[in-house]
Chain A
Amino acid sequence: MLSARNISKSFGGSQALRGVSADFHEAEVVALVGENGAGKSTLLKVLSAVHPRSSGEATLDGASYTPRNQREAEAQGVALVFQELNVNRSLGIAENVMLGHLRDYRRFGLIDWKRLHADAQRILDRIGADFRATDDIHRLDLGRIKTIEVARALATNPRFVFFDESTAFLNHGEAQRLMSVIRELKAQGIGIAFVSHHMHEVFEISDRLIVLKDGALVGDWPTAEMTEERLAELMVGREMIGGLFPQRGGPSGGPVKVELRGVVTASGVGPVDLAVAAGEILGIGGLKGSGGESILSALAGAEAIDAGAMLLDGREYRPGHPAEALSARIAHLPGDRTGEGVITEFSVLENLTLAARPVKSAVLSDRRRMMALATEQIATLGIKTAGPEAAVGALSGGNMQKVVLGKCLATAPEVLLLNNPTRGVDIGAKAEIYRVIRKLASDGLAVVMVTEDLPELLGLSDRVMVTRKGRVAKVFGHGTEPNEEEVVKWMM
């Protein structure tokens, strides 16, 4: 038995785990459930020594369990399968399975391929893989690739295998394959713990549920005694923070600004029908990759559409490039702050005017106008910076996010597309960003917001739409005010 007692973990100032205790038994499947940021992945990573724990104790069969790194954890019988794919496709299947142990297969300094393939095959057989260690790795689908990672974990001869959202990138069939591998491992006496956002997986294969919320343990129940509704309540079960979200107006009554009719995006999301009025905030919720981001990209001119039509002010709108979206007064706040939003080596001033790019005398960069735009955004958004010339890379996450928002606003948009506008932003900056967005909407901006943050979705949106697996699952009308459980139900 692996026991964790009072485990805490903080990253810098933020507390990811607060005194969590949990037990893991052999031949048992435990599901860790909770919202984003509840600490599920962190718990697994601390127990498999990917992250050092800040405090707390752990024992393995009563003896102290204090691995200093992942290798030591594996040596003591605890292995982790990551959320991301960690298979190197320029190596073969057998090499990937034995990646951490290739040194054991040397003969006269060269790799003993025969023995390597035989051992890898033995592990693949153990989990019932339907491919061979010598097959071409490029022919495998994601589910089978994930199986290689499970096999790699098994190569360390573990007693416990932890899965961190391992089905996040898998389709249904591929996820089913992984589920049957987990059953197989359980039958062989291995203890399993897994993180999943898919309710049906949780109920399908787990024996026990551990619920976490905001880094703390909510409780621990046999799966058989739990219902989906009760679980959603336990996961969410928080009071709405009154002061965080600004007061809504009524229905905006403005004219329809943007409309989508049967739109199917290039990445296959849709068909989507939606209409957003001037002065309205439409919130799109859904699990990551369920389609919201693709809808935003299409509107922003960053992704083509394969079918349907987009209308702006009632006229056909089909941007072929983000530049066309901007000249149609549609601004886009992308989801990845440092990869898509700002150039970290550039100054606050240059970033704020990156999309607006004021010109004078036809070609020259208008420094005075740049400075005016930047000063205005710094004041409106309350960006805390040493000055407009300071490098953006030195700002905190919240202030950097305000710079991305300011960059959008400097273009004087009529439509604002927001992709997770407050991801990784502290609560103070969050409230300020919400206040600004609401103010813009009441001034007549049409806002489309995609977010994975439930309270944000419900607290800021005038209307909520939920996407699931590339389709619109549900649109809640004006004044219906759905609660979190209802929304979560449509996401799953």
Chain B
Amino acid sequence: MDDVKQAAKSATAHERSTLDQVRQWFPVGLLLLLCLGFALTSDRFLTVNNGLIILQQSAVLLVAAVAMTFVIVSGSIDLSVGSVVALSALAAAALSPEMGVWAILPAVGIGVLCGLLNGLLFSYGKIPSFIVTLGTMVIFRGLVLLYTKGAPVSITDRDFLLVYTGRSLGIPNAVLIAIVATLIAAVIFNHTVFGREVRAIGGGERVALLSGIRVDRVKLWVFVLCGALCGLAGLLQSARTMAATAQLAQGLELDVIAAVVVGGTPLTGGIGRIRGTVLGVLIIAILSNGMNMTGVDPYLQNILKGLVLIVAVFLTIDRSKISIIK
């Protein structure tokens, strides 16, 4: 039987490699296509100022999507990212009067705790990550509601706002923070043993286990890392809105998953790139921004976003590697 597969494989090897190339470059192509389209229809789109706005709008999404890339590549999912962002934003807002700039610490700390809880329940409690994070998504959001009673918690601390909403060399600090976080995450993903172990677990958990990888431990750390980055995203989000509200980042998890998948990382795990996720985030951000710039009916925008997601996955998914699609 092996021989049959082998013959089939070599016959299509050439086709496959060209197809792989197309898949790899698809996010870049889509990004360029979107930019070209919007530039032609709106003269305000292709300006330095709008570019900075797009980056600023995508900073939160970028940090959270980079976090999600680790989770998805390890073969799991985290639906609680939006709620963790909201809870961390609340921590930052509530403690900003006392802590000022250092409100970053409770924000990230809350994120770590949330990730730790998710990771423990998933990895050691052996509950599927989809279920665990579906539950904690509601719980974390509930905690925000319980604390705020629906009223926004405003941020007025001057130092806090100066740092997190200010600019350095003309670039928003939030964007710089997001870029630094992404670079660090990329190093972890591509160059550390931990990064390899994450990919190995997503590629074949049994293989990873028998190769001596502490699968449970690595899975836990993946969720802690995801929580920490979402905590940072929460801080950036609170600074952008200058307040924490109960509805903050509601539904963010869907944009995050969409960005990761559009960037070419399949939900099946094992393969993926931080670079791809960056592109995916830009595609989603530019799509939103461009539609507003060109005056697309706001009531139509969600439909278009959904279509782009489905078409992108339809074109990039490598069906030969996935026998059952569910």
What residues of chain A have their CB less than 8 Å away from a CB belonging to chain B? Answer: 11-14, 300, 302, 321-323, 325-327, 332, 334, 339-346, 350, 354-355, 357, 359, 363-365, 393-394, 396-397, 407, 411, 424
Contacts and interface: CB of A to CB of B under 8 A. Distances in A.
Given A12-B6, A322-B212, A342-B204, 15 more contacts: A12-B7, A13-B3, A339-B207, A343-B204, A345-B203, A346-B203, A350-B196, A354-B213, A357-B213, A363-B194, A365-B196, A394-B9, A394-B13, A396-B6, A397-B6
B298 to A, nearest CB: 41
Contacts of A11: 1, 3-4
A334 B4 contact: no
B192 A339 contact: no
Contacts, number: 94
Given A322-B209, A323-B212, A396 B2 contact: yes
B191 interface: yes
Q: B2, B209, B211, B214 — which one has the most chain A CB atoms within 10 A of its CB?
A: B211
B307 interface: no
A407 B211 contact: yes
Contact of B206 (A339, A350, A365): A339
B192 A364 contact: yes
A302 B211 contact: no
23 contacts: A12-B2, A12-B7, A13-B7, A300-B210, A302-B210, A322-B210, A322-B211, A323-B212, A323-B214, A340-B210, A341-B207, A343-B207, A346-B203, A354-B196, A354-B200, A357-B197, A359-B193, A363-B193, A364-B192, A365-B192, A394-B9, A394-B10, A411-B212
Contacts of B203: 343-346
Nearest to A339: B206
Interface string B1-27: 111111101100100000000000000
A468 to B, nearest CB: 26
A393 B5 CA distance: 10
B192 A363 contact: yes
A411 to B, nearest CB: 8
Interface string B204-236: 101111111110000000000000000000000
Contacts of A14: 3
B269 to A, nearest CB: 10
B35 interface: no
A326 B203 CA distance: 21
B280 interface: no
Nearest to B7: A12
Contacts of A394: 9-10, 13
Given A359-B193, A365-B193, A394-B13, A343 B2 contact: no
A421 to B, nearest CB: 15
A425 to B, nearest CB: 9
Contacts of A13: 3, 7
B326 interface: no
A198 to B, nearest CB: 25
Given A321-B214, A354-B200, A364 B207 contact: no
A343 B270 contact: yes
A424 B196 contact: no
Contacts of A365: 191-193, 195-196
A323 B203 CA distance: 18
Instruction: Please list the 8 inter-chain residue pairs (A to B) with the smallest Cβ-Cβ separation, ordered nearest first.
Output: A12-B3, A343-B203, A12-B4, A326-B212, A397-B2, A323-B212, A355-B211, A343-B204
